[in-house]
Structure 1
């Protein structure tokens, strides 16, 4: 608690409770210009159809040109207004008010959320006098205003929710999550309910950041049937989606893939449970697909998952944890050279998603080893030879902890200041490929985690004194017979954190991040890959966290694990951290 300094007035904000609704109120007769500005700012936070009430605060010209669906500017708190010119002649220049706040994000016309490091926001609103409808007087109305909507974070989270659209990884048969924001309730502009909004967002195509790495199975110009604003399931939980395709029919395989995209996209919506989708074209059924059939397109076959974390014991050997239930069983020995064999003592590890192979970096951080963990063989010749080595002088300047991508490739960063590189080992045993990273010259990769779909990579990157979390897009290209792999277009995922310690994937588009905000203490919280968050995303505190790992699914029986000053601990859903192993390091789930 501070014990000195001035008392400052701060502007309060609601908590963003999604059950709270704001109803717009039309401007009263003879309202002063300040009331007009305040009333308009309040009306922007409502669900009023077509923002009709908000437009009543505008001049005819401004009401006709204002496009609230164009974009959203998100501020840390609701915008504050201040008159900047009190002496202006109201009959000539009107009144000028400034809107001020701290800008933290924008949302574009494709519903993509883009966070930024908090920065000052300032925009001028001009209020002029406009003749009344009867022509007997004048009323103050806004004539110049910011584009789109300007909302405080609490109002934004009350009105909008994050959903994942799904597209296929380019050239592959599994889907990739693409998070966007839609209205919690009926959209004021389109009048679509949340289900229809979500389907429309899917048809609009992937967000600009992801579209280079994914494909949609929907033919171009596919759209919802004219006039459709509501989609509901029948008594069999089947959702019939009336579409209009360029042709009369679509290929059966393509139709199944379209239906799979819809099923994955709609599965997280709380307002509807969809067990099956049926695609219609001109009222004629094209295909049906159920949840069980769509599962074949998942990046991780969740039905087969029995996720258990692994760790490195005090002797540098790979072990497996059994955490189900209230009690923790004794660690299980892992077959193979990295477990029961005679490989060098390990400092960090990664296990592939099939749990057949493991990769480990030795304690000095110099060498990367890969071996089978499916057999008892402890003398596999290949596992004695390192896959990769670093020539860094200090341990912290050598190899990072490894990570397995969804395609079965192994990733690791060499942090040697003389030759910083990001490596990808095809299949975990092929010839290492240097990943193209044009941004790496001034940055240093502290740690990395590759997504289950193999399209995105989470990077803890240090530049100068600041360590940030970045999401990069993995692109694979073949030109003139030469294949290249690149990580491009890095996007900040936690811009409000000035120091990030660790990160783990926690599902298709969610991350667990350990870090500090400016002037704050270390915290553990959930973040979306687009950098968005919510008030309920902060997890129980824990001292001295150096690494964290979460399961791919959100099963109540599968806890998060972390390495802290108290040893390895676990966090079952709904409880606090519990000790598991006193002497151990690098707890990780497969991936």
Structure 2
């Protein structure tokens, strides 16, 4: 199965610090794919650098002597896409005043192609010491000052003004937009998606009562000391979208010690992190949680960190290694499902070990949902695999039963009054603390519902901002994020929401806040599943396109390993937050699985829905 950047399965760390190659282009060490520099007239667009081997280092050239305005703008835009840690070369294209005021870290705007340029109107060119260009393009994303990615759309138009220095007679930029701008391919070459980790504020694991680790994906510059970047980002706190539902174990104001410029693990894969005095007085349990946050974060970046040592006030605070981290906090990617589950031709719940292959024989799940007494359309198995919830074949009733021999169904836990199967209950989903989620698609009373511990009086989940009808529900293992397939006027989109819980009153209040698209380019999403701590696998198609299976990040970006082998008429997709678990799907060909590095293979001909616990 294709691995992503989660946990120990992302690429090795030598990409930033290993072999370094330099491209010599345009007669000097310069950006690959550099553009021609006209002395007058309109600039052509700055072409995005073609995707290169990610170990290639890209350097920018400073401004040439007596360079005309067009060359100054061109060189500045290309310098933005280099590996210059502090954009010092780019600042050489600015006046001293502009260089002091420019904040490149404030934002990154990603365009479909490199920024185009439009020179000022001829009448404006008569002023010999004044020149203006307009940067243009089509926005596809932005990365804010917190390094948080968000899809974007619409036109990009920003003005760059140049002036000629009265003493040196050199052209320099004296007014420009804050942040940086670049094309998609340059962004993909320069930046990488990495998870930093916090703990759910109001959620603990049902099995252990340990805090649940929550991934907070951010984008960092790949070849500019990403390890130190990630530690600083973690200490700065969670991104705004996630902040209401997570906490950090680091005391407020904790930062790296002032004398720290770069962090590197030793030859035993141990990273020592010196902190300021804000962390000096913490207890051992809190220190272990801090170290776990760092360990989870850095292991999403590299495989070379197995142990964290925290220091402050001139002494060791604690040491935490891989072997103890799972005893400190639960994390979805560390949860290994025992079985893959599916509904067979007899509408029963069956299971098999999840390594796939035709030699694996499925078996009925013990209990009422596997004995064939109730025909099932969809099922969700709890994450501890001790109970399951099944929707009857007609979609009207939801039953919850333990997965033990001799269990009975009893009365439905929930019923829908929808007039057709399509207007009734969706496939349910379990979160890590044992609560059950399901949507009722009845047009007369569409609702998202929560059954605490799988039973009791259903809680109506508030969904402010939801525009459309929920067709599918999948809760992340961390219990604070939920994926919804929402239908609006025939378009089915994948939205990610933040789960907020308020238990201060007599009745708990649960809501899904700030829904955002995870698939802005897809018009029809037909199946989805969480596939890692911040990644999902999705079946869908673009407008006028063909059905495809791909990975997406929950922030709406596409990971490098996004595309998967093609598959048609998919009815369900089964993935686990544990990226070692193989990928399964069901289609008109039955149950299929995807062994690593090959195409889909048929496992069983009669299967309507496949899924892992959750």
What's the TM-score, normalizing by structure 2?
Answer: 0.88
Aligned to 1:29: 65
Query: Does residue 1:269 correspond to 2:301, yes or no?
Result: yes
Higher relative contact order (CA 8 A, sep 6+): 2
Aligned to 1:183: 221
Query: Does residue 1:387 correspond to 2:413, yes or no?
Result: yes
Query: Does residue 1:227 correspond to 2:227, yes or no?
Result: no
CA–CA separation in structure 2 for the residues paired with 1:498 and 1:145? 36
Query: Is the CA contact (8 Å cut-off) linking 2:254 and 2:279 kept in structure 1?
Result: no
CA–CA separation in structure 2 for the residues paired with 1:16 and 1:368? 52
- Structure 1 462/13 Cα, relative in aligned 2: closer, same or farther at 3 Å? farther
- Structure 1 35/285 Cα, relative in aligned 2: closer, same or farther at 3 Å? same
> How many correspondences in the alignment?
563
- Structure 1 162/95 Cα, relative in aligned 2: closer, same or farther at 3 Å? same
CA–CA separation in structure 2 for the residues paired with 1:420 and 1:575? 41
CA–CA separation in structure 2 for the residues paired with 1:547 and 1:341? 21
Aligned with 2:288 (options 238, 256, 270): 256
Aligned to 1:108: 144
- Mapping of 1:63-212 within 5 angstroms? 63-91=99-127, 94-116=130-152, 118-131=153-166, 135=167, 137-171=168-202, 172=204, 173-186=211-224, 193-212=225-244
3-state DSSP class of the match of 1:299? coil
Offset of residue 325 of structure 1: 5.8
Aligned with 1:574 (options 597, 607, 611): 597
CA–CA separation in structure 2 for the residues paired with 1:304 and 1:467? 30
Aligned to 1:562: 585
Offset of residue 346 of structure 1: 0.6
CA–CA separation in structure 2 for the residues paired with 1:203 and 1:281? 14
Measured on the aligned residues, the alpha-carbon RMSD in Å equals 2.0
Aligned to 2:434: 408
Aligned to 2:446: 420
Offset of residue 298 of structure 1: 4.2
Segments of 5+ residues of structure 2 without an aligned counterpart are 1-44, 205-210
Aligned to 1:6: none
Q: Deviations over 1:490-511 (max 9, x none)?
A: 1111112122111100111111
What's the TM-score, normalizing by structure 1?
Answer: 0.91
CA–CA separation in structure 2 for the residues paired with 1:355 and 1:394? 31
Higher mean alpha-carbon deviation, 484-493 vs 546-555, is at 546-555
- Structure 1 19/406 Cα, relative in aligned 2: closer, same or farther at 3 Å? same
Query: Is the CA contact (8 Å cut-off) linking 1:16 and 1:157 kept in structure 2?
Result: no
Higher mean alpha-carbon deviation, 473-482 vs 201-210, is at 473-482
- Structure 1 578/233 Cα, relative in aligned 2: closer, same or farther at 3 Å? same
CA–CA separation in structure 2 for the residues paired with 1:509 and 1:575? 24
3-state DSSP class of the match of 1:138? coil
CA–CA separation in structure 1 for the residues paired with 2:293 and 2:193? 17
Query: Is the CA contact (8 Å cut-off) linking 1:16 and 1:155 kept in structure 2?
Result: no
Aligned to 2:458: 432
3-state DSSP class of the match of 2:296? helix
Query: Does residue 1:590 correspond to 2:589, yes or no?
Result: no
CA–CA separation in structure 2 for the residues paired with 1:31 and 1:396? 66
CA–CA separation in structure 1 for the residues paired with 2:163 and 2:333? 60
Segments of 5+ residues of structure 1 without an aligned counterpart are 1-8, 187-192
